[in-house]
Amino acid sequence: MTTYQPRGMYYEDMEIGYKVVSAGRTNQRSGTLWPLPGLSGDWNAIHIDAEYAKTAGFGERVAHGLLGLSIASGLAMQLGFIDRTV
For CA atoms 27, 31, 34, 35, the dihedral sign is negative
Structural domain harbouring 35: 27-86
Note whether residue 10 is domain-resident.
no
Note whether residue 18 is domain-resident.
no
Alpha-carbon distance of 60 to 39, in angstroms, equals 21
* pLDDT tens series, the chain, 86 aa: 666 666 788 889 888 998 888 888 776 665 445 678 888 888 999 888 889 999 998 888 888 888 888 888 888 888 888 888 87
Q: Report the pLDDT value the prediction gives residue 63, as an integer from 0 to 100.
A: 85
Return the ∠ at Cα 75 (arms to 19 and 30), rounded to 5°: 135
Domains in the chain: how many in total?
1
Contact residues for 23 (Cβ-Cβ < 8 A; gap 6+): 75, 78
